[in-house]
Amino acid sequence: MPAPSSQEFLCELDRNLWAAADKLRSSLDAAVYKHTVIGLIILKCVSDAFTVRQNEIEKHLRNPNSYYFLAPADYKEPGEYESAVHAELEDRDYYVEKNDFWAPALARWQLLLDSAKLSQGTEITVKNGKTTTYIISSVGKLIDDALDAIRGIDFNNGKEPANSFRGNLCRTSDLPQQLPSSRVNLGRN
């Protein structure tokens, strides 16, 4: 079966996005809906930009011809090498050098998708240079905390206040306490 053309892909994406928006809209007031959707779009865009750059960096770290190459022979155990690669992938400098986003672990789309299915009170481990524990209270709170993690980034390396990205995009109180995870999982398509 031939690969779909870009036009077919865009049409399918359009259908999926409208279906996701319709499902979400049915449970939210219109005034709240726009802030929620904008917040989710920001999270998705930041996370996608981060993932693209992270994949590029990982290729460089494993490529013997790259300036950034980490030689596995320099590590005694295979686990040490993988840990070193993972640590390098969390180094913000790699992202800043190309003017790309560095996304905090809590604001990464895959973590949000995986965590949205978990029940209240579930503890997850968030590794972001250091390891922390996060307790799921609701999908809305998870999204809210992910946005707060992005808001805390100093995108301008000290040239402007770290809180220059502010706004009421998505607040926990605005979302139903038990927002079905299927609404967030629609982003997988």
52-61, 153-162, 168-177: which range is least confident on average?
Answer: 168-177
Helices (H), 26-121: 30-62, 78-89, 93-96, 109-116
pLDDT-above-70 percentage for the chain: 72
Q: Is the pTM of this model over 0.85?
A: no
- Residue 168 banded pLDDT, cuts 50, 70, 90: very low
pLDDT of residue 157: 56
Tens digit of pLDDT for each residue in 76-105? 987 999 999 999 999 989 988 888 878 999
pLDDT of residue 85: 94
pLDDT of residue 88: 93
Give CA–CA dist 39/143, Å, rounded. Answer: 8
Give CA–CA dist 48/153, Å, rounded. Answer: 16
Tens digit of pLDDT for each residue in 29-48? 777 777 777 888 888 888 88
172 within 8 A of 136, measured Cβ to Cβ: no
Encode 129-159 in three state secondary structure: CEEEEEECCCHHHHHHHHHHHHHCCCCCCCC
Measured in whole angstroms, how far is the alpha carbon of residue 90 from the centre of its chain? 13
Kindly list the structural domains of the chain, giving each domain's residue range(s) and its CATH number in brackets, ordered by start: 6-47+103-188 (1.20.1260)
CA distances to 81, 131, 163 from 56, in Å: 18, 24, 29
34 within 8 A of 169, measured Cβ to Cβ: no
The dihedral built from the CA positions of residue 103, 135, 118 and 129, taken in this order, carries a sign that is positive
Tens digit of pLDDT for each residue in 113-154? 888 888 888 999 888 777 889 988 888 888 889 988 888 776
Residue-averaged pLDDT of the chain: 77
pLDDT of residue 155: 59
50 within 8 A of 42, measured Cβ to Cβ: no
